[in-house]
Amino acid sequence: MAPLRVLCVHGYRQNGASFRDKTGALRKLLKKQVELVYMTAPLKVEHDRNAEVPVKENDSVPGPGGDEDSRGWWFSDTVARSFSAQQQCEESLGLDESVATVREAVKAQGPFDGILGFSQGAAFVAMLCSLQEQKVEPEFNFRFAILVAGFRSACREHQNFYSAPLQMPSLHVFGLEDRVIPDNMSRELLPSFQDPQVLIHPGGHFVPAASAHRQTYQDFLKRFQ
């Protein structure tokens, strides 16, 4: 049986290479079921020398892929070109460019069976699922979504993505000790999907891939094999 091809969408201040490094355990856990394909967001995140050290969207030190090339999918502060999941905003910056980048990745590297997102990437995946169901992105043909530490965007212009529960089969993964995206923020995204499956782990802000989680991932994925 051919493995399912899954497009992987990294978190804010990560890139495709660094996210690949941080999900090695997941690749190993699911190597018989899935082939994970990584892409990088188009928006470059500038480092503010005067700011506090930003909380990176992972619980580990920069891997060999390097987080030096920090990227994001949209900015909630259009002036500072920065992002915070908690920031209420009227409009965002860069989302259209990011959707176009996914469109190109699907054309160049697809087809994909599913899509996986982490943190800001998971919030973005929910938006991509909405665009697919609204039939405004004919290139998108994902059969399932895995959202790790996802959340509803607090930006007013994004609220149309949550107008109707999505039919897309989804697995929502979040940690009870997550300090970057607290689990209540991930729970708020669940009603945006018709039949959300849930995997809760006791840890923090990372993609869990312990043997204890294998069965939940496998049970979800085998529906599409």
In the predicted structure, residue 52 carries a pLDDT above the cut 80: no
Catalytic pick from 82, 119, 170, 192?
119
Q: Which of 39-53, 87-101, 135-149 is the most confident on average?
A: 135-149
Parallel, antiparallel, or unpaired for β 144-148 and 71-72?
unpaired
Whether 119 is catalytic is: yes
Whether 178 is catalytic is: yes
Q: Which domains does the chain have, with CATH numbers?
A: 4-44+69-223 (3.40.50.1820)
Catalytic pick from 10, 201, 205, 213?
205
In the predicted structure, residue 50 carries a pLDDT above the cut 70: no
Q: Which pLDDT score is estimated for 55?
A: 47
Q: How confident is the model at residue 49 (pLDDT cuts 50, 70, 90)?
A: very low
The 10s digit of each residue's pLDDT in 164-188 is 899 999 999 999 999 999 999 999 9
Q: Which pLDDT score is estimated for 65?
A: 46
- 8 Å CB contact between 142 and 4: no
CA–CA gap between residue 221 and residue 21 (Å, rounded): 22
Length of the chain, please? 225
In the predicted structure, residue 150 carries a pLDDT above the cut 60: yes
Catalytic pick from 10, 67, 178, 213?
178
In the predicted structure, residue 61 carries a pLDDT above the cut 50: no
Q: Is the dihedral of CA 51, 55, 57, 60 positive or negative?
A: positive
Q: How confident is the model at residue 2 (pLDDT cuts 50, 70, 90)?
A: confident
In the predicted structure, residue 62 carries a pLDDT above the cut 90: no
Q: How far is CA 91 from CA 74, 75, 81, 95, 155, in A?
A: 10, 9, 12, 10, 6
Q: Which pLDDT score is estimated for 89?
A: 86
> Beta partners for 72?
43
What mean pLDDT comes out for the span 219-224? 96
Alpha carbon 180 to its chain's center: 14
Whether 92 is catalytic is: no
In the predicted structure, residue 104 carries a pLDDT above the cut 70: yes
